[in-house]
Amino acid sequence: MDADDLYRAVAAALKRAHDAEARSDGELAEVRARLAQLVALLEARGAINDGHVRAIDRAGERARAAERPKVRLRQYVDKYQVPGGDIDCEARLHLCHARCCAFSFELSAQDLDEGVVRWELEQPYVIRHEADGYCTHVDRKTLGCTIYAKRPAACRGFDCRGDARVWLDFDARIPAPMPGGLQAPER
């Protein structure tokens, strides 16, 4: 099994786990609602008092605080219908150094189903970055996107003109300072 096959197998397994977690979350919400109704009924009948209710609430807060972070997917939108900005990125790459390609964001189920866009295995469904801080899909020589036709909705709809992480002044072509630790790839 090569690295791509392994990646696809792990991605498929995590997608199944995510779907199962979503079903479990629904069931858990139903159990919590029933428990709240039961506590309210017992309190109304005098079977438990305010001290008991506070203890139950504290136990619930401790359990929620111990929950692991959720795996999140971007709200579904057909990425092929997302309008793009009218920015000539290629003409500005020598200034901005594609710093938008260092941003993190969640992918959509559409991205996962297509199996082209890579994501962080340690942070499921967040766009994957390499050690240099840039998206794994950035060509380090041209700063172009190697999956341009299949790029995520966040990339398609991004408009850097008003983003202070990219430009101090878009019209005057003055880029913002590179964020800490990010180095423009050697071209």
Say what the pLDDT of residue 172 is: 95
Closest listed residue to residue 132, CA positions, set 159, 164, 97 = 97
Q: Tell me what the mean pLDDT of segment 27-38 comes to.
A: 81
| pLDDT over threshold 90, residue 102 | yes
| pLDDT band with cut points at 50, 70 and 90 for residue 167 | very high
pLDDT higher than 70, residue 97: yes
pLDDT in tens, 111-131: 999 999 999 988 889 999 999
What does the pLDDT read at residue 145? 94
| Banded pLDDT at 105 (limits 50, 70, 90) | very high
Q: What is the mean pLDDT of residues 149-171?
A: 94
**Average pLDDT of the chain, as a whole number:** 85
Would you state the pLDDT for residue 124?
Answer: 86
Tell me what the mean pLDDT of segment 152-168 comes to.
93
**Token pair 């605080």 is at which residue?**
65
Q: What is the mean pLDDT of residues 61-90?
A: 77
E-state strands within the chain: 167-169, 174-175
8 A C-beta contact, residue 98 and residue 178: no
pTM, 2 dp: 0.64
Confidence of residue 99 (pLDDT cuts 50, 70, 90): very high
Query: Which pLDDT does position 69 carry in this prediction?
Result: 58
Q: How far is CA 137 from CA 11, 23, 30, 59, 184, in A?
A: 17, 32, 41, 45, 15
- Better-predicted residue by pLDDT, 62 or 105: 105
Q: What is the pLDDT of residues 40-73, one digit of tens each?
A: 887 788 888 877 777 777 777 777 666 665 667 7
CB 101 within 8 A of CB 135: yes
DSSP string, 14-26: HHHHHHHHHHHHH
> Would you list the domain boundaries of the chain?
3-66, 79-175
CA atoms within 13 A on the CB side of 20: 6
Section 3-14 average pLDDT:
77
Residues ≥6 apart with Cβ < 8 Å to 125: 18, 71, 72, 73, 74, 106, 107, 112, 119
**The pLDDT value given to residue 66:** 64
Gap between the Cα atoms of 176 and 99, Å rounded: 10
